Structure 1
Amino acid sequence: MINVWKAAFAFVLVFINIQISFSQSGGRVSGRVVDAATKAPVDYATISIFKAGASSPFNGISTDPKGMFVLTGIPAGIYKITIDFLGFQKRTVDNVVVTAGGNTQLGTVELNASQTTLNTVNVTAKAPIVENKIDKMVYNAANDLTAQGGVAIDVLKKVPQVSVDIDGNVELQGNANIRFLINGKPSSIFGSSLSDALQSIPASQIKSVEVITSPGAKYDATGTGGIINIVLKDSKVQGINGTVNLSAGTRLENGSANLNIRSGNFGAGAFFSGNEQLNSTIYTSNNRTSTNAANNTTTTLLQDGSGTTKRNGYQSGLNFQWDITKHDNLTGSVGFNHFANSNTGLTNQQQLTMGLAGILSNIQSLRNSASSFSAHSTDYSLDYKKTFKKEDRELQILYSSSYGKNTSFYQQQQSYLGGLYPTSASIANNPGKSNETDIAIDYTDPLTKYLTLETGLKTVIENYSSNTNTDSLLANGNYGHNANQTYGFNYSRKVYAGYISGSFSLFNKALEGKTGLRYERTNTSADFPGTNIPGYNTFAPSFLLSHKMKNSQSIKIAYSYRVERPDYGDLNPFYNISDPHNISTGNPNLKPEIGHNYELGYSKGFNSGASFTASLFYRYNTQDIQAFSTYYDTLSIGGTRYNNVTLTQRYNIGSQTGVGANLYGSVPVGKFNFRTNVQLGVRSNSTQGLATVSGFTYRINLNASYEFPKNLIAEVFGNYNSSQKNIQGTRPGFGFYSIAVRKQFWNKMASVGLTTATPFSEFVNQTSTTYGSNFYQSNLRRVPFRSFGISLSYKFGKLEFKKGKDENGQMSVPDPGN
């Protein structure tokens, strides 16, 4: 397979060379947009090009963070170009002459600031839902209608290349080992329970989701699946402004509020958001058959019951931005996060054992169980950025730290019918702490017009601690301390890293690339018995090459070396015995997973506003971390014997290969807009001692919206994730659809929306299987998914784009944001 990809890359390089020669037939228009007062670059300004006499543009682009833009593949002719951005007066450049194969340079275009208030803002241009950039894909969640009133999980279901199952487990290009960030920074909240953390962030707080499938050397090497960065909403405009969002529904309620204040060179913001998932009852049916060759017996375990689940969470935070001087900027933030879930259940159980002589035993029991999990984290960050007289030279120093506290709890009691066996029960608490501190220094220097150097150093210090306290039911009916199931666990990991990276461009930026090497030294210590993890070195190269062709086409190839270090949930040796027949625990001896990611991508934009993106990917992981289930007739844990048990634990099981394709398209038709995303792939797992298992999987979704008169818009979204084979069975498929409408009023300062998900079906049925050398298990879950909801949003405040003065008396304007 590696040889196939080498051949494919060689073909792409030849193709690029051919395309460079053909791309000269279309003309190019380039330039740079700056603030007329401060000469600072204007990021995200809208560049539109019009044919002679036309009232609508036939092509366009947004400026990059340096204010630069390049329009390619423009037929020879005379055109009009407009430059527009919120808070600035629109600039028009007439009689722009474009020649075949030529490069028309507009030079530096200056925009003059305007002054307006919120209730008179009229923005006609908006960012597309999905943007393809050289090293990442951006999903602009602020324009996502059906996710309104939902949570981060609902937004991620819409993001190309990302798949989410019904329990909130996320995969990127078929890989679940993803590095999640908030505003580009880590948070200990993700290491506790990723699914719960993502279900505690309201969608109304999310500005965009950045998907980085082939991270460069500047990024941590962590995450074999890549990086997903959740960017929360903020505002950097002058004045006082904010938003309030409320939603209520049959399954979920949430609310959020933002307040931003900026005067001159200083700004501050605060936000609070919270949500609660109302009680929902899940019905389960489990059937497991196991064999014991030693005594020629077969045991069948039937479990039939229901459980009630409830979730809640909140986030809040403060931040500030201070432009100390023209070249010195300081930003800081503190955030508070919390989420919790609780489950109670009642299960009827029958354990039937058959031998050569017939029925040996028939044990019937009733299990009452309860479990809960809660997590709190506090995140701090301080970021200093210094620019220089030389354009784009930059020094950045970042300190961030995250402190987390979490608690797991379970209790269970099994009562046997007929009084043949005594009642058994246990209660366990598992409080824990986690801390991650990052210190990073990054330096960027444009050595030439076509070559930029980046280098930096970083230290990551992580500490985890966990304590387990267990009480067991005694013969006298009281609970007593179980010393054999009481223990502590401390884990420390330090990562020291350095990198060097270069960005280059050739042929008038028709060919752009990034290449780099990152080195990381990891030292690990743990005080759990039998745990010994030696230190190791990681050399992580990365490479990306992008070619812009005529007719708004581009093609890119990329490679990145990644590692997946186990997190708190993977390592914690706490035994969850809320179901004594199905026990799970962590593994302190896990080694890091190693990943090699290859990607080939193509994108094209059309004059109509339509776009198409296709990517092929190949991933090869060694020391692959996956959950594995083992059946035991009898399992001893801390001196207590449990019968007829499946133990699930994470291991470095072998290697995994993933090959697939992702297709995304967006087509506007009048007031309609259609978007679709299709992901196809084959995943193979090779495990020592077991046969290689390969499974085909696919994900497809369709989004359609229509804009009615008077600021009314409606949207329909449907999604289906197929079932898939894994190393021990099958993972269930998952399908749903949702409908939403939104009405804006009061000059778009307020809106009201209605949403519904699967309105004609109360439950989603999921069937999964698990098997091993001596057992086979099937499981049916009926998960409630139907919901109805209403959401309200209100914007307030005055937005003034007037200029302040820095300490040198120079005029300055903060970068406008959403």
Structure 2
Amino acid sequence: MKKLFPLVLLLISLAAIAQRPQRQDVESIKITGTVLDKDNGDPLEYATLVLRPINDPTKVTGGITNEKGQFDVEIAPGTYQVRVEYISYKTYQKNEQEFLTSTDLGTIKLGIDVEQLDAVEVVGEKTTVEVRLDKKIYNIGKDLTTSGATISDALNNVPSVSVDVEGAISLRGNENVRILINGKPSAIAGFGSTDALRQLPADAIEKVEVITSPSARYDAEGTAGILNIVLKKEKTLGFNGSLNVNAGYPTSSSISLNSNLRTDNYNIFNTLGYRYRDAPGNAFFDNTYTSGSFDRVIEDRIYNRLGRGFNINLGMEYFLTEKSSLTGSIFMRFSDDDDLTENTNERFNESLLESRTFREEVETEDDNSYQLSLNYINNFDDDGHKLTADFQYSNEEEVETSIIEERNTFPDTQLIVLEDVYQNEVQDEFLIQADYVLPMEDAQFEAGYRGNFENQVTDYKLDSLDQATNQFVTNEGLTNKFTYTENVNALYTQYGNKMGKFSFLLGLRLENTQLKGKVESDFDSNAIEEQYGVDVNLDFDKNYLGLFPTLNLIYELNEMENVSLGYNRRINRPRGRYINPFPSRSSRTNIFQGNPDLNPAFSNAFDLGYLRRWDKITLTSSVYYQKETDSFERIQESTGQTTTDGIEIIRSLPINLSTNERIGAEAALMYNPKKWLRLNTSFNFFKFSTEGVFNGIDYGTDNTSWFGRFSSKVSLPAKVEWQTNAFYRGPTQNSQTESKSMFFLSLAFSKDIMKDNGTIGMNVSDLLNSGKRRSYTETEFFTSRSEFQFRRRSVNMSFVYRFNQPKERNGNRRGGGNDNNGGDDEFEG
């Protein structure tokens, strides 16, 4: 909002200038300078420079600052009144300044005008996308369709990002993406899983950084790139905050409170939330077999998932001096889920129904997460010279208990199996990080260290009822304790420079990765090793030392147009359920099993980008290429075992394939034809090919796919906003499975009330109830047609009340300890 106001003033001024004849007989001179926030040294983009000639005050000229706060304008020699303006900041003014030659005004620091904060009139909206040297920043906090939604839902509205019906997040169609919170791995995002993102409210997000060509400052983890979710932290002086209440159908409700108390000496911030959500879903499978007792099996599943969650994030930033601050925060999340899955199973031979069974699984899950964070920042000067240090400890414990009962319902009625499953997963993670930034003239040097130390213990037990004795018997082959350790130590350095219209950022990261696994069992652990083959060792200790170079280049064709080129080398480490050898079973005949023998995958990626801005249009586009070795592929194979009633058991297993090549192109267009209308669209097309053989089967394939999204926001009379979001994903295919296309449509409306302190809203997610994954799998021994819907169409009502807080946030504030998101301080060129 605040950026558009000075821009409008400038356009009016330039329009007035354009109507007057210009002098051509006088050589022009250049006036340059930089505008920064007085308190924290941040550059102020779109600040307005106004130059008014003393001898003719009607001939106003000037310019606006770029993303680094710099301006560069040409004027005729003479005496001028100089004024630098930025909405909600005190105006800088100098009278009768004589300019006879090109002059650098140096650094101009603007301070907050507290008295004007509450009187600021919002005349526009902050741009939806900001393009930097190595990333795109999407401000999604004003997305109406995220009201009452989760962080996972909100990510599905970000260009280049897609979230499938099971919550798996992809970047440019690639699921090997690293999720960070405020620039760091976090218990908030979950460890090795994105389930936690489905439990946290979307209104906690300030912005999402899509980093497709990460610099050396970032972890090398994630071959597709990085998604950095930056959470909100109010920066307005005094006590302020907001209350958000939501209710919807299917049954869902949530309440969250964001509060902030800020003085000149400290800042206390708190987010408190409770969520209750029912997620009814369904699935259908039509399977045919070449062996076993039946040639066709049809499964019809109904899911009823009830989730309850409470989260709190409490922190304090204390300003030690004018240049340094210490921030401490604690995050806690407690969730209690109850899931009921009902599975009707019909078995056929030659189209005749032979038997029917009914399977019921009752699962309870308690998930508790804690995270303690400390951040120290010391700004040695106002030019960006600083040192930051971070310490973070996270703990997550997840306890799952399941009772699985399956009975024959045709032609007779009898108990087939009764199982009791217990799984306890505990994970601890320590993070230590230090970053040093040294700015130089038109350049910047950085260096740092990061250590991640993670330990995960999974205790799994499966008991089955022995109907002959009516006693539960432990399955000795699957009851084990698996301990997984991942330690990563990294050093990095990078250097950036700007030479005229050309900028570059060159970096090198050295990482040492240690992966350790150990199986402990009161029984014979060889039983589980036999499921993988003789080459798999469940007790392993692997070390990987690698160099990860990065290079980002940008050339400014003019103020409104640039071309960029990026290169990076990345790693994808196996983690979470992909290495856990204990199977999860959606039915007795279909299981998923992690592979502890997975090795990390490595990739080299190139990205060529183009940006063009017009008066009302912004275009961002890129062409990219990636080659990955030892890439992960999820395959389905026969276990060679059958159930007690003769159905072949199929296993899904992740493996290392030899190579995976991906080439694609994407484009995003933001168009604001009218003050009341905003249009956004993006499109991504990619082709990938894989090569590799496993257990004598060739899993190589070639495929092309695409996805696109469209969003429109219309301002109606009576302060009513209307937003439409549409997403389409084209069909895709790997060596075994073809996934059908999917279309997803959402609508949202909102209206400001209570003198703009309150907002009521309504949104409909998946209006057409079409958010379903449909796929077809074919192997040598079976085929499967399936359809899966995680949650059906939902309607949500919301109410937001803001106290002592303008609807739009205006300006930055002093300090920045907790605002370090792992990238904002990088050299931008």
Amino acid at match of 1:575: P
Partner of 2:354: 362
- Note if contact 2:50-2:84 (Cα within 8 Å) is conserved in structure 1: no
> Which of 434, 440, 445 is residue 433 of structure 2 equivalent to?
440
- Note if contact 2:49-2:85 (Cα within 8 Å) is conserved in structure 1: no
SS of the equivalent of 2:153 reads: helix
> Which of 448, 451, 464 is residue 472 of structure 1 equivalent to?
464
Q: Structure 1 residues 765, 174: CA separation in 2 closer, same or farther (over 3 Å shift)?
A: closer
Using the TM superposition, give the Cα deviation of residue 552 of structure 1 relative to its aligned residue in structure 2, in angstroms. Answer: 0.9
> Which of 803, 812, 819 is residue 796 of structure 1 equivalent to?
803
The reply to whether residue 734 of structure 1 matches residue 742 of structure 2 is yes
Q: Structure 1 residues 817, 182: CA separation in 2 closer, same or farther (over 3 Å shift)?
A: closer
The reply to whether residue 323 of structure 1 matches residue 323 of structure 2 is no
Amino acid at match of 1:322: Y
SS of the equivalent of 1:174 reads: coil
Alpha-carbon distance in 1 for matches of 2:285, 2:138: 39
- Residues 540-559 of structure 1: matches in 2 within 5 Å? 540-559=548-567
Deviations 1:405-455 (A, max 9, x none): 112333322212334975212121111101111111222223x31332211
Partner of 2:779: 772
- Note if contact 1:374-1:408 (Cα within 8 Å) is conserved in structure 2: yes
> Which of 482, 498, 503 is residue 505 of structure 1 equivalent to?
498
Using the TM superposition, give the Cα deviation of residue 308 of structure 1 relative to its aligned residue in structure 2, in angstroms. Answer: 1.9
The reply to whether residue 450 of structure 1 matches residue 458 of structure 2 is no
Q: Structure 1 residues 373, 71: CA separation in 2 closer, same or farther (over 3 Å shift)?
A: farther
What TM-score, normalized by structure 2, do the two folds share? Answer: 0.84
> Which of 484, 502, 505 is residue 491 of structure 1 equivalent to?
484
Q: Structure 1 residues 816, 497: CA separation in 2 closer, same or farther (over 3 Å shift)?
A: closer
Q: Structure 1 residues 199, 798: CA separation in 2 closer, same or farther (over 3 Å shift)?
A: closer
Using the TM superposition, give the Cα deviation of residue 132 of structure 1 relative to its aligned residue in structure 2, in angstroms. Answer: 0.8
Using the TM superposition, give the Cα deviation of residue 391 of structure 1 relative to its aligned residue in structure 2, in angstroms. Answer: 3.6
Using the TM superposition, give the Cα deviation of residue 305 of structure 1 relative to its aligned residue in structure 2, in angstroms. Answer: 3.5
SS of the equivalent of 1:467 reads: strand
Amino acid at match of 1:330: L
Alpha-carbon distance in 2 for matches of 1:163, 1:757: 15
> Which of 523, 534, 540 is residue 514 of structure 2 equivalent to?
523
The reply to whether residue 612 of structure 1 matches residue 619 of structure 2 is yes
- Note if contact 2:389-2:434 (Cα within 8 Å) is conserved in structure 1: yes
Using the TM superposition, give the Cα deviation of residue 90 of structure 1 relative to its aligned residue in structure 2, in angstroms. Answer: 4.2
Deviations 1:207-228 (A, max 9, x none): 1111111111111111111111
Using the TM superposition, give the Cα deviation of residue 797 of structure 1 relative to its aligned residue in structure 2, in angstroms. Answer: 2.6
- Residues 707-746 of structure 1: matches in 2 within 5 Å? 707-746=715-754
Deviations 1:631-679 (A, max 9, x none): 245159xxx9984111112221332111111100111112211111111
- Note if contact 1:239-1:798 (Cα within 8 Å) is conserved in structure 2: no
Deviations 1:127-177 (A, max 9, x none): 211111111111101221222221112221221111122332211112111
Alpha-carbon distance in 2 for matches of 1:54, 1:276: 62
The reply to whether residue 750 of structure 1 matches residue 758 of structure 2 is yes
Partner of 2:41: 41
The reply to whether residue 69 of structure 1 matches residue 60 of structure 2 is no
Amino acid at match of 2:709: N
Using the TM superposition, give the Cα deviation of residue 698 of structure 1 relative to its aligned residue in structure 2, in angstroms. Answer: 1.1
Range that drifts further, 221-230 or 484-493: 484-493
- Note if contact 2:376-2:817 (Cα within 8 Å) is conserved in structure 1: no
Using the TM superposition, give the Cα deviation of residue 326 of structure 1 relative to its aligned residue in structure 2, in angstroms. Answer: 2.5
Q: Structure 1 residues 58, 152: CA separation in 2 closer, same or farther (over 3 Å shift)?
A: farther
Q: Structure 1 residues 193, 490: CA separation in 2 closer, same or farther (over 3 Å shift)?
A: closer
Partner of 1:680: 685
Alpha-carbon distance in 2 for matches of 1:50, 1:817: 34
> Which of 579, 582, 602 is residue 574 of structure 1 equivalent to?
582
Partner of 1:665: 669
The reply to whether residue 376 of structure 1 matches residue 376 of structure 2 is no
Amino acid at match of 1:791: S
- Residues 20-99 of structure 1: matches in 2 within 5 Å? 30-34=32-36, 40-48=40-48, 60=64, 63-64=67-68, 68-70=69-71, 83-85=84-86, 87-91=88-92
The reply to whether residue 207 of structure 1 matches residue 209 of structure 2 is no
Alpha-carbon distance in 1 for matches of 2:285, 2:514: 42
Amino acid at match of 2:327: T
- Note if contact 1:50-1:81 (Cα within 8 Å) is conserved in structure 2: yes
Amino acid at match of 2:444: T
Partner of 1:16: none
Partner of 1:424: 417
> Which of 414, 434, 453 is residue 461 of structure 1 equivalent to?
453
Alpha-carbon distance in 2 for matches of 1:267, 1:205: 18
Partner of 1:584: 592
Using the TM superposition, give the Cα deviation of residue 782 of structure 1 relative to its aligned residue in structure 2, in angstroms. Answer: 5.1
The reply to whether residue 221 of structure 1 matches residue 220 of structure 2 is yes
- Residues 113-124 of structure 1: matches in 2 within 5 Å? 113-116=112-115, 120-124=119-123
Q: Structure 1 residues 56, 225: CA separation in 2 closer, same or farther (over 3 Å shift)?
A: farther
Deviations 1:379-418 (A, max 9, x none): 1111112232584322221111211111233332221233
Amino acid at match of 1:652: N
- Note if contact 1:562-1:596 (Cα within 8 Å) is conserved in structure 2: yes
Q: Structure 1 residues 776, 340: CA separation in 2 closer, same or farther (over 3 Å shift)?
A: farther
Using the TM superposition, give the Cα deviation of residue 783 of structure 1 relative to its aligned residue in structure 2, in angstroms. Answer: 5.6
Partner of 1:107: 106
Using the TM superposition, give the Cα deviation of residue 202 of structure 1 relative to its aligned residue in structure 2, in angstroms. Answer: 0.9
Range that drifts further, 566-575 or 428-437: 566-575
Unmatched tracts of structure 1, length 5 or more: 1-24, 800-811
Amino acid at match of 1:168: G
Q: Structure 1 residues 135, 681: CA separation in 2 closer, same or farther (over 3 Å shift)?
A: same
Q: Structure 1 residues 94, 591: CA separation in 2 closer, same or farther (over 3 Å shift)?
A: farther
Using the TM superposition, give the Cα deviation of residue 229 of structure 1 relative to its aligned residue in structure 2, in angstroms. Answer: 1.0
Amino acid at match of 1:497: A
Partner of 2:266: 266
- Note if contact 2:777-2:784 (Cα within 8 Å) is conserved in structure 1: yes
Amino acid at match of 2:206: K
Alpha-carbon distance in 1 for matches of 2:273, 2:58: 45
Deviations 1:464-487 (A, max 9, x none): 001012110111444343344321
Partner of 2:635: 628
Deviations 1:580-632 (A, max 9, x none): 111112122211111111101010111x2321000111111111123211124
Amino acid at match of 2:797: I
Alpha-carbon distance in 2 for matches of 1:488, 1:249: 41
SS of the equivalent of 2:141 reads: helix
- Note if contact 2:372-2:392 (Cα within 8 Å) is conserved in structure 1: yes
Q: Structure 1 residues 119, 291: CA separation in 2 closer, same or farther (over 3 Å shift)?
A: same
Partner of 1:564: 572
Q: Structure 1 residues 392, 190: CA separation in 2 closer, same or farther (over 3 Å shift)?
A: closer
Alpha-carbon distance in 1 for matches of 2:63, 2:749: 30
Q: How many residues align?
A: 758
- Note if contact 1:45-1:84 (Cα within 8 Å) is conserved in structure 2: no
- Residues 14-25 of structure 1: matches in 2 within 5 Å? none
% of aligned pairs identical?
A: 23
Partner of 2:346: 350
Alpha-carbon distance in 2 for matches of 1:463, 1:283: 35
Alpha-carbon distance in 2 for matches of 1:556, 1:646: 47
- Residues 274-285 of structure 1: matches in 2 within 5 Å? 274-280=274-280, 282-285=281-284
Amino acid at match of 2:320: I
Partner of 1:301: 297
Range that drifts further, 745-754 or 781-790: 781-790
Partner of 1:131: 130
SS of the equivalent of 1:146 reads: helix
Alpha-carbon distance in 2 for matches of 1:700, 1:274: 33
Deviations 1:241-274 (A, max 9, x none): 1111111111342221111112222111111123
Unmatched tracts of structure 2, length 5 or more: 1-26, 520-524, 526-536, 807-812, 820-829
Alpha-carbon distance in 2 for matches of 1:727, 1:54: 70
Q: Structure 1 residues 233, 189: CA separation in 2 closer, same or farther (over 3 Å shift)?
A: closer
Partner of 1:311: 307
Alpha-carbon distance in 2 for matches of 1:757, 1:77: 59
Using the TM superposition, give the Cα deviation of residue 764 of structure 1 relative to its aligned residue in structure 2, in angstroms. Answer: 4.0
